[in-house]
């Protein structure tokens, strides 16, 4: 295998796979992944939801533009639908008026429902729990695996090369090139894309680049059996306005979370059973569902920059080092448009017009907005 590339991408999650697929159209691209398979960390652990009203302003723009890709991907990209419609219900419980106001400020296409209407969508809602209820009919379930594999297949079809078990251990800037040492060999490229997820600041530090202040936050999800409740598979995603719990159907059961966001160091995340128990308690408080156990669970890391928006762009102080990190809890739903934007930056092109028209302000994603840079 040749050791010189135009671009090396560190990380084969959804961020790395999607930007690499775009770049491989015109560039020689290598993805380095430290695990033995792509998608092992956050990408493989999401709740797989598409919610165009969820996230900070840049994410809203990326997600809304990405909808077109999910509904109508390029021919041959995926052998099944990427997005299946599933509406969402937002319940304002006691004291959550402020969150309703916030949602309504930026939310598009929301419909307020009476309690009787809400019960038609979600028969197990406990009467009196929700002061107000809003329906978002434009949300859905994403097939994350299909999306991720689609980008990796596109990447390979464009002669991109992926190496697993290839942690970037040392990263040096030698002349104009980055030289990266891995257990699989030494590789060089003029441009390095840091798509290392929770390890984004760790990779920067290895490369001698100032960190941007990323904070991985653990979230835990439990799957509960809900025998004897008809129509569970058709339930909407349900959550409260303050995001203190959410639930949605998964293979005839319900996945539940207390929407925990515990700051942790980057690691192979596992579920926090106490956090799941809290989620179940809040679900039982909001509904007539009785839960005595959960079947299985998982944990994952949602990684945030200090201001909650993604960090996308060349480092202002280091040549050829592009950040593509900090996608928080929205990195799947935003990936198609976010990766096109990042690829345009690598290629020195203008950002995609559709993303700008959707309201993206570049200053909200560039790394130099963060104080420590
Ligand atoms: C519980 C949970 C629920 C979520 N729900 C949703 C949702 O409903 N919708 C949504 O859009 N998003 C959701 N997210 C967020 C979404 O999953 C992430 O934003 C997205 O997966 C981040 O992708 P990534 O490629 O940046 O990170 P990752 O998938 O973690 O990929 C980074 C990769 O970099 C590799 N790496 C790190 N260091 C090195 C190194 N030194 N050398 C080589 N490789 C390295 C890692 O092994 C990893 O594979 C959720 C996340 C969690 C945890």
Q: Which of 8, 11, 162, 193 to mutate to test the pocket of ligand 1 (most atoms within 8 A of CB)?
A: 11
Residues within 6 Å of ligand 1 by CB: 10-16, 32-35, 40-43, 45-49, 167-168, 195-199, 203, 219, 221, 300-302, 327, 329-333
The minimum-distance atom of ligand 1 relative to the CA of 50 is 9
Specify whether 230 is located in the same domain as 287: yes
- Whole-number pLDDT of residue 373: 60
* Å from CA of 41 to ligand 1 middle: 6
Give the torsion through C-alpha atoms of 262, 267, 272, 278, to 10 deg: 30
Q: Determine the structural domain holding residue 207 and report its residue range.
A: 4-65+144-212+307-369
Specify whether 97 is located in the same domain as 131: yes
- Asked if 199 and 266 touch (Cβ cutoff 8 Å), the reply is yes
- Whole-number pLDDT of residue 2: 63
Task: List, in order, residues 6 or more apart from 227 with CB less than 8 Å away.
Answer: none
Give 286-330 pLDDT, tens digit per residue. 999 999 888 999 999 999 999 999 999 999 999 999 999 999 999
- Whole-number pLDDT of residue 294: 87
Specify whether 13 is located in the same domain as 117: no
Query: CA 311: distance to chain centroid?
Result: 13
- Whole-number pLDDT of residue 227: 87
Give the pair of three-digit tokens for residue 39.
């998608």
CATH of the domain at 197: 3.50.50.60
| Segments in the chain below pLDDT 50 | none
- CA distance linking residue 207 with residue 203, whole number of Å: 6
Looking at the structure of the chain, the number of domains it has is 2
* Å from CA of 55 to ligand 1 middle: 16
* Å from CA of 111 to ligand 1 middle: 32
| pTM, rounded to two decimals | 0.98
């Amino acid at each position: 295998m040749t050791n010189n590339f135009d671009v090396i991408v560190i990380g084969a999650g959804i961020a790395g796979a999607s930007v690499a697929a775009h770049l491989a159209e015109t560039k020689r691209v290598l993805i380095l992944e430290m695990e033995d398979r792509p998608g092992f960390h956050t990408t493989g652990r999401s709740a797989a939801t598409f919610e165009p009203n969820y996230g900070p302003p840049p994410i809203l723009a990326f997600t809304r533009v990405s909808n077109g890709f999910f509904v109508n991907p390029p021919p041959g990209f995926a052998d099944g639908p990427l997005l299946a419609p599933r509406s969402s219900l937002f319940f304002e419980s006691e004291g959550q008026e402020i969150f309703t106001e916030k949602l309504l400020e930026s939310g598009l296409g929301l419909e307020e429902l009476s309690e009787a209407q809400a019960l038609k969508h979600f028969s197990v809602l406990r009467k009196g729990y929700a002061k107000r209820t809003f329906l978002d009919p434009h949300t859905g379930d994403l097939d994350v695996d299909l999306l991720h594999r689609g980008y990796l297949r596109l990447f390979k079809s464009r002669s991109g090369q992926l190496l697993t078990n290839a942690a970037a251990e040392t990263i040096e800037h030698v002349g104009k090139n980055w030289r990266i040492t891995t257990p699989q060999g030494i590789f060089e490229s003029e441009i390095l894309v840091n798509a290392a997820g929770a390890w984004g600041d760790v990779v920067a530090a290895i490369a001698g680049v100032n960190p941007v202040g990323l904070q991985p936050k653990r979230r835990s999800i439990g799957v509960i059996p809900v025998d004897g409740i008809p129509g569970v598979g058709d339930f909407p995603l349900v959550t409260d306005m303050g995001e203190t719990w959410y639930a949605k159907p998964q293979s005839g059961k319900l996945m539940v979370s207390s929407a925990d966001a515990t700051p942790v160091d980057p690691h192979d995340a596992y579920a926090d059973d106490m956090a799941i128990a809290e989620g179940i308690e809040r679900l039982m408080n909001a509904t007539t569902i009785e839960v005595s156990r959960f079947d299985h669970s998982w944990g994952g890391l949602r990684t945030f920059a200090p201001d909650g928006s993604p960090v996308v762009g060349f480092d202002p102080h280091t040549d050829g080092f592009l950040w593509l990190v900090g996608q928080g809890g929205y990195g799947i739903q935003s990936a198609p448009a976010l990766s096109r934007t990042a690829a345009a930056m690598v290629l020195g092109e203008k950002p995609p017009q559709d993303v700008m028209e959707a309201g993206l302000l570049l200053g909200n994603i560039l790394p130099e907005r963060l104080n420590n840079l």
